[in-house]
Chain A
């Protein structure tokens, strides 16, 4: 394989020598139509080819084009965000003067769909875009958090407030149960690992394109079933070097929990009412009541955020470049947690004749100090603050950590300060590409792009011997673990395209692609024991002997997977009004059984610009633009599976110091691609002279050959086997509205709204008859949404005896808890969500704000099953428990303490609805005359807030609950707050941007 690559490079270099002297140059200027001012940064590209440049400060450009290309076909595209893109046939002229009009319409927008760039009117599929600048300054450690509510069809759930934590992203509903549901993320053509973005700087990102339906994701067919997020980074602009510097400082404030735990007086009163388990006497009560520790206040803090980004860009007519560097330092609201990140980027593009060479690369380093979350374990600081008694002080009189004697909860502060968990990550993403326009056959071009995604993680974890977890390890004297894992994946895409205009009415683009995506990683680690000497690092490990119990543990492993694809794409346009696209592809994956590795996928789409029809002429005043589109097709999913999921596997087993083998996975040679078939249709329209733009789309996506855990008889020693069984559908409507309510020279007021309603439904599961899949409180049943909650209905407390009451299947009251009375009470899947915002601009002042919401999902609040469990009277409990039933006749919702708590009931199922004030940004940009005097290009100051307020009834820190960590791209089980919640950060920052 590598040899093939080398050969190709050599071939290309040969050709290069032949080709260098063959170009001619087209030059010109671009101005704004209304003001005749020069427009810098306008993208100038040769239609159908990868060749392009941008205008400089004075709006000038110079572009080398193939000298012998048929000039009647040579079309240049001029585009700039906010301007109507123009296509200009060059003809014989070598100097062009172009005037761009401000964009009143959306159809002229240029859309980057990954391998290709299209005008929006040509797009037959469902594509949403988010401009990078909209979210560039949002201080998130992981960029996808910033996309919450920004695009229709894309649900971003924060999942954790830990700096750098990855959100859970769903495009058009959860399309898989066992397989991955996270979309594919493509950064400059390279697939990047979807589980960790904390070492990428999103200020470098120019645009996010969200591909949602079959025809638009078809170019990623084998991986596109969950949708694709295509990110392009900023490129340099021809002209003198521009320097841009952004800095912001700010702070994240302490969260509040809507489900309060007891204070000292309350807790002591509760203990006395429940048998005084610790046997306090009156003196104790008086002494302890005086101590009132808020463990939450002790553990949380105000965390500082600092962010600097410096960008330099420029270039000449041959070569453009963009270099950037950034520092991002965000402290978490939990003490000792945070993310420290340094990134650098170099994007370079150079043209030489018919060849274009490019390099996009980023390299970063980050340090992440984290804490456990989404767990019900003890010895976790975020649980300890809920469960520690308030009458325990954090420190004793001597200033040492207080060791609680009245309960066995650890001291949360001791855990967070003495035990450290640190991850250092190196990440690099880059690609190089070569494009070649064949000079003797105009319209034919070749392109090969090879990119890699690399990361390595070094982890170190200390369990101090003085802490409870440190005493609970082998040898009982603390533990120090180091781990290292690295991953390298590469994406190689090679294509030949032919782009041609026939006559004046026909355009045709045919491309053939070959793509290789291969990745693998290795890891190893060790855990040493016997700390407590002079060192708290590697040097502190005591070597093991036969008697001291400090024999270290070592581990190692690796993974590898590969994908190979061939595909072809055809776009045909007639009269610039009717467009047809089609894609056919064949994909092979290493993850499936030998006979099922390969699968074919295809899709087709049409679009019709109705407003250009003659019969619409009378209505052009109403519908400035009206476009209809429809598409249908299939795409595949193989994410979330193990690398060798179809194989019977034996892993290492050790017994009595001897290594052996243990079966760890059953064979399923029938395992094959999960397939998603999507129908999409929609209307895009612009009215009121383009001031109001709306899109409405309907989709219906059917996942067949669903990866599901087919239940097995437990007598096999397994509970289930991953199989292709069942079908699942997501159907929904997306609506977006974007309007300029007022638009004058000095004042604009615009507003936007996007709404998505998704209906998730399981069509078919494995087997006949009763084939429900029940897992804990979740049930998957035909005809119902995924991850529906299946519990017994709680019906309050019998005032006569304090017993918990339930409804049986007939709806009758009963005091007997019987799992046979379980019913479905709603799903964890979100049916309705969206975002809305508005922005005001008056001269240099600007204000924008943005809200997001979800509605209709349910959450199982497992955290409450701990703090509302009277048998945990030894530890702190929810203040709500003070309403416990104590005497006959008492009407309350909390049963008597002596009854066993049943957790699988509706008592702990809550509404997940919330409305969140996601962002507020206020800025002031200095006027041009001031800037000129100061010889500055741009200066603005701003203040912004994230998550300023959240409106919800959910009893916890945050309705966006943490779910257990992603492994691979595997689907998280949503909708359960297990405990140890790290809520989303509420951050306020102040900053300044300067351009030189």
Chain B
């Protein structure tokens, strides 16, 4: 018995001292997927990653609204200009931007910078080593790669729009770093504006080509949520307008217009409630579903009836209020008070002077601001083509005028065309139409910067609001965020902020 006890005891001793196998700490993630340095293991993963890149456009700092930052490329460019007026109801969370008081440590500027590069990083992950599938699955690779390149090119273009010291095609002033690889240790320099453009052109034209030869249709007729070949060309049209390659801009715009014409007048208003006509008007939109944030709450918070920014009076007065369908689609009246109703156009009873932007209130009757962000529209394509043609001059002045008239006829009931017009007057008319058509869609600030104008706010509500920004002001170009300067010794600060 003693011996048995001893053996048992010894056995027990050993058993309890080392009971654990080392695999106890070999735990694998279940709710996330571990990556590997070489990239993904299947083409499906590349496709999943592309979806992730699109989702990042919704991030606060890109199109989405954060707690303290407006959608940088959504309505902020309008808030920074002259057609949206900061009201007394605004919290001032992005007043540093809208009043041009930013310094290098402005948090919202860093958030925007990171948000755009996060989209780019996700696009680069999508692209990493995707060529290994080209031999076996060429058309699917084209579809994924084309979109990822377009996303990368567009995000860099958006960065250049704020941080480029110039928009000239051949400028040697500071542009932005162009990221094409996945490398967390990279400390990139700023390319010149020209070099930045070169890269953007390379990516967008490659995307255009790739997206012409794909395995399946990318977009549904009433839900154009992805960048297909038409959207890539629309981006190229916009890009060529910025660099003043008017022939190319005209050509790309024409291709887009041929594929997706303007919405019918009856269907136009419903677009802002996310009720889309098939293959018309909306070229690419970033979709928002419940729980995914919003893009439009920076202007008017429908649920709380907080009217942070209101339409400028002079802008509203430019519209033919009775006949322009945009007037009722874009503007409305709403009394203060959480449950006050929204009246489109100027149908509000009584003499309410509280004016709101109604573009982003919600789907149907909802006031939850949950609507898609329309990035590219055929209306913009007509304006690009009109401007490109008018700038080319000569015989093209007539086609430019026709473009302008076509757009107006599509928006204004009983529109009576003007017969002829001089070049400068035509360009002014196009600029005015652009201001009206694309109001609060993220263009105004860039259009002023592009055409080198002064911001002068005729309609100001807050005493603290800045009123004038001359073309020479440093604020036309954003500073490189302090966080980037602190860590990246290779990067140059924007002129004026050093």
Using CB atoms and an 8 Å cutoff, list the residues of chain A in contact with chain B. Answer: 1, 4-5, 7-8, 11-12, 14-15, 18, 275, 277, 377-378, 403, 405, 408, 410, 438-440, 446, 448, 468, 471-476, 492, 494-496, 512, 514, 516, 518, 527, 529, 547-549, 551-553, 556-564, 566, 588-590, 597, 643-644, 647-651, 653-667, 711-719, 721, 770, 772, 774, 776, 817-819, 869, 871-872, 874, 898, 900, 904
B11 contacts A653, CB within 8 Å? no
- Give the nearest-CB partner of A589 in chain B: B25
Mark B475-498 against chain A: 1 for CB-CB distance below 8 A, else 0: 000000111101110010000000
B residues near A772, Cβ cutoff 8 Å: 486
Do B117 and A650 touch across chains, with their CB atoms under 8 A apart? no
Complex-state Cα separation, A666 to B120, whole angstroms:
15
Could you tell me the distance between the alpha carbons of A4 and B21 in the complex, rounded to whole angstroms?
Answer: 10
How far in angstroms is the closest Cβ of chain B from A789? 15
> Taking the complex as formed, is B184 at the interface, i.e. its CB lies under 8 A from any CB of chain A?
yes
Q: When A4-B19, A440-B5 are in contact, do A664 and B32 touch as well, CB less than 8 Å?
A: yes
Provided the pairs A721-B184, A874-B89 are in contact, do residues A654 and B55 lie with their beta carbons within 8 angstroms? Answer: yes
Q: Tell me whether A471 and B338 are in contact (CB under 8 A).
A: yes
Within 8 A of A (CB), among B92-138: 92, 95-96, 99, 101, 103-105, 107, 110, 113-114, 117-122, 125
Q: Are A647 and B370 in contact (CB under 8 A)?
A: no
Identify B48's interface contact among A495, A659, A666, CB under 8 A. A659
A549 adjacent to B368 (CB under 8 Å):
yes
Interface pairs A-B: 7 shortest CB-CB: A660-B51, A648-B35, A662-B52, A717-B121, A717-B118, A474-B290, A472-B303
B416 at interface, CB cutoff 8 A: no
In the bound complex, do residue A551 and residue B289 qualify as a contact, i.e. CB atoms below 8 Å apart?
Answer: yes
19 further contact pairs, Cβ within 8 A, besides A516-B24, A714-B488, A717-B117: A8-B19, A378-B91, A446-B13, A474-B291, A475-B368, A496-B17, A512-B17, A547-B364, A562-B24, A654-B55, A655-B52, A655-B54, A656-B287, A661-B51, A662-B52, A663-B121, A667-B35, A711-B486, A898-B464
Whether the Cβ atoms of A408 and B304 lie closer than 8 Å is yes
Q: Does B223 contact A (CB under 8 A)?
A: yes
B contacts, CB < 8 Å to A: 1-2, 5-6, 8-9, 11-13, 15-22, 24-27, 29-37, 45, 47-56, 58, 67, 88-89, 91-92, 95-96, 99, 101, 103-105, 107, 110, 113-114, 117-122, 125, 177, 179, 183-188, 223, 225-226, 287, 289-292, 301-306, 336-338, 362-364, 366-368, 370, 462-464, 481-484, 486-488, 491
Complex CA gap A393/B455 in Å reads 42
A653 touches B55 (CB 8 A): yes
When distances are taken between beta carbons in the complex, the residues of chain B under 8 Å from A659 are: 48, 51
A549-B290, A560-B30 known; A476 vs B368 contact (CB < 8 Å): yes
Separation of A774 and B486 alpha carbons in the complex (Å): 9
Contact between B67 and A719, CB atoms less than 8 A apart: no
Contact check, A468 vs B36: say whether CB atoms are below 8 A apart.
no
Distance (whole angstroms) from the CB of B110 to the closest CB of chain A:
7
Q: Which residue of B lies closest to A594 (CB)?
A: B26
**Contacts known (A1-B21, A597-B25, A712-B487); A18 close to B5, Cβ less than 8 A:** yes
Query: With a CB–CB cut-off of 8 A, which chain A residues contact B179?
Result: 715-716
Task: State the main secondary structure of chain A at its contact with B.
Answer: mixed
Complex contact B484–A714 (CB within 8 A): yes
Tell whether, in the assembled complex, residue B12 and residue A717 are in contact, meaning their CB atoms are under 8 Å apart.
no
Bound: A387/B297 CA distance, A: 21
Docked complex Cα distance between A15 and B8 (Å): 8
Given contacts A12-B12, A446-B12, A660-B49, contact A588 B25 (CB under 8 A): yes
A643 to chain B, nearest CB (A): 7
Q: Which residues of B contact A651 (CB under 8 A)?
A: 31-33
Does A496 contact B368, Cβ atoms closer than 8 Å?
no
A643–B8 contact, CB under 8 A? no
Given contacts A655-B51, A660-B47, A660-B52, contact A819 B24 (CB under 8 A): no
> When the two chains form their complex, are residues B117 and A716 in contact, meaning their CB atoms are under 8 A apart?
yes
Complex: A711 Cα to B179 Cα, angstroms: 18
Residues in A whose Cβ lies below 8 Å from that of B186: 713, 715-716
Contacts of B370 in A (CB 8 A): 474, 549
CA–CA, A377 and B305, complex, Å: 17
Report the minimum CB–CB distance from A407 to chain B (whole Å): 9
Q: Which of A12, A516, A718, A874 contacts B184 (CB 8 A)?
A: A718
B212 to chain A, nearest CB (A): 22
Query: Across the interface, do B291 and A656 meet the contact criterion of CB distance under 8 Å?
Result: no
Instruction: Flag if B184 contacts A666 (CB, 8 Å).
Output: yes
The residue in chain A whose Cβ has the minimal distance to the Cβ of B14 is: A496
- Which of A446, A514, A716 counts the most B-chain CB atoms under 10 A from its CB? A716
- A874 — which chain B residues lie within 8 A by C-beta? 88-89
Q: Is B35's CB under 8 angstroms from A476's CB?
A: no
The answer to whether B187 and A713 have CB atoms under 8 Å apart is yes
Are the C-beta atoms of B51 and A714 separated by less than 8 Å?
Answer: no
Enumerate chain A residues within 8 angstroms of B291, measured Cβ to Cβ.
474, 527, 553
Distance from A967 Cβ to chain B, minimum over Cβ atoms (Å)? 16
Q: A468-B338, A717-B120 are in contact. Are A496 and B16 (CB under 8 A)?
A: yes
- Within the complex, the shortest CB–CB distance from B187 to chain A, in Å, comes to 5
State whether A649 touches B367 (Cβ < 8 A).
no
Most B C-beta atoms less than 10 A away, residue of A440, A557, A719, A817:
A719
- The residue on B at minimum CB distance from A592 is B25
A474: B residues at CB distance < 8 A: 290-291, 366, 368, 370
Query: Quick check: B34 and A405 within 8 Å, CB to CB?
Result: no
Q: Is B45 a contact of A496 with CB atoms below 8 Å?
A: no
On chain A, the residues within 8 Å of B67 by CB distance are 377
Contact A551 B26 (CB under 8 A): no
Measured between C-beta atoms, what is the minimum distance from B292 to chain A in Å?
A: 7
Residues A7 and B301 in contact, CB atoms below 8 Å apart: no
A392 to chain B, nearest CB (A): 13
Are A516 and B113 in contact, CB atoms less than 8 angstroms apart?
A: no
Contacts of B55 in A (CB 8 A): 653-655, 660, 662
In the bound assembly, the distance between CA atoms of A894 and B276 in angstroms comes to 53
Structural contact, A562 and B368, CB atoms closer than 8 A:
no
Q: Could you say which residues of chain A place their CB within 8 Å of the CB of B336? A: 405
Q: Please determine whether A590 and B26 come into contact, CB atoms closer than 8 angstroms.
A: yes
- Chain B residues with CB under 8 Å of A5's CB are 19
A553 to B370, CA, bound (A): 14
Contact of A560 with B27 in the complex, beta carbons under 8 Å:
yes
Cα distance, A457 to B455, chains bound together (Å)? 55
Inter-subunit contact A446/B16 (CB<8 Å)? yes
CA distance A659 to B8 in the complex (A): 56
Given known contacts A649-B33, A719-B114, A476 and B366 CB-to-CB distance under 8 angstroms: yes
Cβ contacts under 8 Å, A1 to chain B: 20-21, 24
Q: A275-B463, A472-B301 are in contact. Are A514 and B17 (CB under 8 A)?
A: yes
User: A553 CA to B292 CA in the complex, in Å?
Assistant: 10
**Which residues of A have CB within 8 Å of B304?**
408, 410, 468, 471-472
Instruction: From known contacts A644-B34, A715-B177, infer whether A15 and B9 are also in contact, taking CB-CB under 8 Å.
Output: yes
B45 in contact with A643 (CB, 8 Å): no
26 pairs across A/B with beta carbons < 8 Å?
A1-B20, A15-B5, A471-B367, A476-B303, A514-B20, A516-B19, A518-B24, A549-B363, A549-B368, A549-B370, A560-B27, A590-B26, A644-B29, A649-B32, A650-B52, A651-B33, A655-B52, A656-B54, A658-B51, A661-B52, A663-B49, A712-B184, A715-B186, A717-B114, A718-B118, A817-B103
**Bound-state Cα–Cα, A494 to B18, Å:** 9
Residues on B with beta carbons closer than 8 Å to the beta carbon of A648: 34-37
- Of all chain A residues, which has the CB nearest B90? A871
Please determine whether A663 and B48 come into contact, CB atoms closer than 8 angstroms: no
Q: What residue in chain B is nearest A662 (Cβ atoms)?
A: B52
Task: Please name all residues of chain A whose beta carbon is closer than 8 Å to the beta carbon of B35 when the two chains form the complex.
Answer: 647-650, 663, 667
Q: A514 touches which one: B19, B287, B289, B367 (CB < 8 A)?
A: B19
Taking a contact as CB atoms closer than 8 A, the residue among B29, B120, B287 that contacts A655 in the complex is B287
Q: Cβ of A715: which chain B residues have Cβ within 8 Å of it?
A: 117, 120, 177, 179, 186, 188, 484, 488
CB pair A472–B17 under 8 Å, yes or no, is no
A476 to B297, CA, bound (A): 13
The minimal Cβ–Cβ distance linking A679 to chain B, given in whole angstroms, is 30
Q: How far is the CB of A944 from chain B (nearest CB, A)?
A: 42
